[in-house]
Amino acid sequence: MKEEINENILRQTRIFVPPESPFDDKYWAETLLGSIITPLISQIKWFWFSRYEQPKNGEMDDCDIDRIPNSFLVNNNFRSIRFRYQVIKNEMENFEKQAEELIRFKDCRISDFRDYDLMKDLGSERFISKQDSIQKKEERVDLISNFLFFTCKIFIHCIEGPDNEKKYHIEKNHQTFATISHLLHNIAGIHPRIVYEINGLLFYD
């Protein structure tokens, strides 16, 4: 993973969905992932994503939010998927052109594509102490990036669709990630305090 990252380009974009169908229900992120991300990932070696519902003045330092139409707001929030990926340098332009065309074809929007600083993000104090050595930070980044990559691959594997309305949903056996969360708490010895549900999935805080 580390050698591949050094040889390739790390990039990111944030994809915003409109309030109209097929993005007009709680499975908007699954529909975005199934209709846009899934067709793209066969061309890249590494990726991960995360979903957000944030107000226009929320913290979004990875895009130019002023370029996203206010018509995309739902209850004063923008809904988006932040997509980070690794692409071969001489294929980057064609990949991002194809990605933007697909995004617009699905009536979604981005402000731009930009570089992604993996070490700054996954090597931050959220994941490792600032007192640790550079070598250990690099090792931790490698481990976390692989964890996120395979977690996202599993999630995409759990998505079903499209249905007659061109929507995607999490599979009926939606205990996969509840079980993974349970095992993660067992492995790390973390005692969950709160159980909550998102899109039919159980999570612990």
Domain boundaries along the sequence of the chain: 2-171, 173-205
pTM: 0.88
Residue for token pair 């079980």? 179
Of 181 and 88, more confident = 88
Looking at residue 120, what is its pLDDT? Answer: 94
Q: Kindly provide the b/e burial profile for residues 57-71, where b requires at least 16 CB atoms within 10 angstroms of the residue's own CB.
A: eeebebbebeebeee
Q: Which residues of 176-197 are buried (b: 16+ CB within 10 A; e: fewer)?
A: ebbeebeeeeeeeeeeeeeeee
Q: Which of 10, 47, 18 is nearest to 156 (CA)?
A: 47
What confidence score (pLDDT) does residue 200 get?
54
Instruction: Could you please state the CATH topology (level 3) that the domain comprising 2-171 is classified under.
Output: Alpha-Beta Plaits (3.30.70)
The whole-number average pLDDT for the span 139-143 is 97
SS3 55: strand
Find the length of the chain: 205
d(CA 78, CA 65): 9
More confident residue, 131 or 33: 33
Q: How large is the average pLDDT for residues 159-188?
A: 88
Please report the pLDDT score of residue 169 as a whole number.
Answer: 95
| pLDDT for residue 6 | 47
Under the phi-then-psi rule, with left for phi > 0, alpha for psi from -120 to 50, and beta for the rest, what region is 161?
left
Closest CA to 40 of 181, 179, 152, 185: 152
Among candidates 158, 120, 155, 162, which has minimal Cα distance to 141?
120
Percent of the chain with pLDDT over 90: 74
